[in-house]
Structure 1
Amino acid sequence: MRKYLSIDLSRENFWFEELQKRNDVQSARIKRLLQLPDLTKKENSPVKILVDQILNLPRFTDFDLIEFPRIVSVEENFDLLNTPADHPSRRQTDTYYVAENYVLRTHTTTMWSFYLRNADILKTLKEEGHIQTLSRGIVFRKDEIDKNHFPAFHQIDGLYICERSRRLITQKDLEEVERDIAKSIFGEDVKYRFLVDSFPFTDPSVQMEVEFNGSWLEVVGSGLVHPQVLKNFGLDPAVYNGWAFGFGLDRLAMIKMGIPDIRILWSEDPRITSQFKDINSRYKEVSKYPPISRDISFVIDKDISLNNYYEIVRDLAKNLVEEVKLIDSYEDEKKFGKGKKSYTFRIVYRSPEKTLTNEEVNEIQEKIRYHTEKDLGAILR
């Protein structure tokens, strides 16, 4: 029988209260992200429809379901999961740091840090010889701006651990799980394949791809639980073994339901939300509102991550930007100075719900120009 575990949120509440005392740009971004709804729990959301399809699979009937905080420690999000100290995901240009040692969770795999340190769960493992859980929810990561990326997105993870004397877990066991997931989403006749991959917390690791509309699509990342990760949680890899999987839900929902722009997933427009009833729903365009493009060129220190610029655009344009496209970049020490680099971006404005005016766009663009200069020390061209 499925157990529902909800981790105490008092620590998250503490950090949320601390954020309210701050008025810097970074805290404003984090507060805005924390106000977003978790679409894995929102009715008529393509993301929730996908989650329900997976949760209702017969093989997952007895899997626990764990909820854990959105604000987690660096140890919980990275260290315990064997993430190398120099891994790019740890950088402030990739992850939202609430404080020096606390971040917005970057993946639902972080649930291991709560599930595998829960006293009741460890008791069950000792008494019954196995434990199993799923976790779904919203996660956060800094990224580029286009139709497929948004700083908040959704994932689902699965974890199974048992005594080796009970069962020796193999890659074949994991492939059977992934096959069931793929068939539940894409149908019994779906074609699939497995490719070698690499993740810090599994070894060996594999990636599952499915063929859909003539293309091979990455669906699930997975592997056998890494022995070092078991040790990190106080479990002897000579005694225990297991498998794990995890994957993004937003892109999968977009592919399955024919959604062309990730912002549509967040829409409250009833003309859009009413279209999604079940796993076979297909999106029909409400109206193709015209785009408005504006170019911006500037020179900044070449060591500055472009994610810093994308964050400025998100701050000011919200969901009115469809894409920020880099159309030119070059260095010229004589012209710009040592360590400087010139960039030209094309910002494409388009709302999925209304027609934008030139006046609206010009106002936003001027704010972006101002903050690019002020926040990045840029020289506008």
Structure 2
Amino acid sequence: MTISVEELENQLLKLKQEAIDAIASLDSLNSLEGLRLAYFGKKGQLSQILGGMGKLAGSDRPRIGALANEVKEEIQTLLDNQRQEFQQAEIQAKLASETIDVTMPGSYRPLGRIHPIQSTIDRVNDIFVGLGYTVATGPEMETDYYNFEALNTPVDHPARDMQDTFYLPDGNLLRTHTSSVQIHYMEANEPPIRIIAPGRCYRRDTVDATHSAVFHQIEILAVDEGLTFTDLKGTIKVFLEEMFGADLPIRFRASYFPFTEPSAEVDVQWKGRWLEVMGCGMVDPNVLKKVGYDPELYTGFAAGFGVERFAMVLHQIDDIRRLYTSDLRFLQQF
């Protein structure tokens, strides 16, 4: 069955008008894509019309081909324009839904503050790092060996009574001081050594204005050839002057610690009275032997103090318990 040129022309022109009307009535990108396939897909209407060109005389085919290209380009242009309109409308709708009213007051988010305990630790670390020390850390759960025996405090030593200890069912314990960090570090390193060991400690202390069962401590250790008690006093003096100022009175009192000999307590004058803030001394030769150091060649000094005590002096705090209550009225002062 043959088909005339006029019939194909009419079909193409009719298809163009239908496409114009259909594109004008589209309401979404999805429907637009469906319409595009209906016209230009392999089984689309334009393909079906052009399939009839094979029945035309050869001289008529260029005429129909030119018209078909014209119709195709016009429909494609309309589809592209409509797609841009839909895309622009989507962008405008998104902008409208996400518009920020810059005249509205912003949501208030208070600035955070460093807790006085942490700020004190940071301050101490900065001073000792400036003096050439390295910050060292260790486990909070310790063995009896590292917490006591390696620090010259064997099982039957009466000095153990000085520290009420939290023991665990497996025989380990919560460290009572960060002195255990010194043993770990010396076992892994050779002199010269200069370290500072901050961390949390635990003792079954009765809680009052100056004591807590959980507290923070910082230990200092230096081991080298020829260190003396004079080096220890000079280091502590420089440190305390950096912390509290050169005008703060300081005194050393003879004392006893199982892991240092000789030993001393260090006091500062606070609110008109002397307040003990740290203990210190020369490292006992037995401690050096435990870690494999030759006490005939090396000497060392150590010191330790509670961070909370220093924070109380720095900020004139009257009760240690204020540091743990998370009372914003108190913390917002810092």
User: Is the CA contact 2:147–2:176 (under 8 Å) kept in the aligned structure 1?
Assistant: yes
| Cα deviation digits, residues 120-170 of structure 1 (max 9, x gap) | x23xx3xxxx111101011000011322222101110110111x2xxx111
User: Is the CA contact 2:113–2:332 (under 8 Å) kept in the aligned structure 1?
Assistant: no
- TM-score w.r.t. length of structure 1: 0.55
1:84-123 alignment, distance < 5 Å: 84-87=154-157, 90=160, 94-118=164-188, 121-122=189-190
**Consecutive unaligned residues in structure 2, runs of 5 or more:** 1-111
Give the equivalent residue in structure 1 for 2:301. Answer: 243
Aligned residues: 223
Query: What SS does structure 2 have at the residue aligned with 1:117?
Result: helix
Give the equivalent residue in structure 2 for 1:65. Answer: 135
| Cα deviation digits, residues 300-349 of structure 1 (max 9, x gap) | xxxxxxxxxxxxxxxxxxxxxxxxxxxxxxxxxxxxxxxxxxxxxxxxxx
**Consecutive unaligned residues in structure 1, runs of 5 or more:** 1-41, 277-381
- Between the aligned partners of 1:43 and 1:82, the Cα distance in structure 2 is 41
User: Is the CA contact 2:228–2:299 (under 8 Å) kept in the aligned structure 1?
Assistant: no
1:212 matches 2:270: yes
| Cα deviation digits, residues 194-238 of structure 1 (max 9, x gap) | 111111111111121122222111122111111111001111101
1:133 matches 2:195: yes
Give the equivalent residue in structure 2 for 1:272. Answer: 330
**Identity rate, percent:** 36
Match of 2:311 among 235, 249, 253: 253
Point out the structure with the larger strand share. 1
- Between the aligned partners of 1:92 and 1:228, the Cα distance in structure 2 is 20
Identify if the C-alpha distance between structure 1 residues 231 and 58 changes in structure 2 by more than 3 Å, giving closer, same or farther: closer
Q: Which amino acid aligns with 1:137?
A: G
Point out the structure with the larger helix share. 2
Which of structures 1 and 2 has the bigger CA Rg? 2
Match of 1:146 among 205, 208, 214: 208
User: Is the CA contact 2:227–2:301 (under 8 Å) kept in the aligned structure 1?
Assistant: yes
Query: What SS does structure 2 have at the residue aligned with 1:222?
Result: strand
| Cα deviation digits, residues 343-378 of structure 1 (max 9, x gap) | xxxxxxxxxxxxxxxxxxxxxxxxxxxxxxxxxxxx
Give the equivalent residue in structure 1 for 2:321. Answer: 263
Name the Cα RMSD after superposition: 2.2
Identify if the C-alpha distance between structure 1 residues 68 and 59 changes in structure 2 by more than 3 Å, giving closer, same or farther: closer
Identify if the C-alpha distance between structure 1 residues 88 and 148 changes in structure 2 by more than 3 Å, giving closer, same or farther: farther
- Between the aligned partners of 1:134 and 1:174, the Cα distance in structure 2 is 14
The range that moved more, 178-187 or 63-72, is 178-187
- Between the aligned partners of 1:186 and 1:223, the Cα distance in structure 2 is 21
- Between the aligned partners of 2:113 and 2:233, the Cα distance in structure 1 is 30
- TM-score w.r.t. length of structure 2: 0.62
Give the equivalent residue in structure 2 for 1:172. Answer: 230
Identify if the C-alpha distance between structure 1 residues 75 and 58 changes in structure 2 by more than 3 Å, giving closer, same or farther: closer
1:185-200 alignment, distance < 5 Å: 185-200=243-258
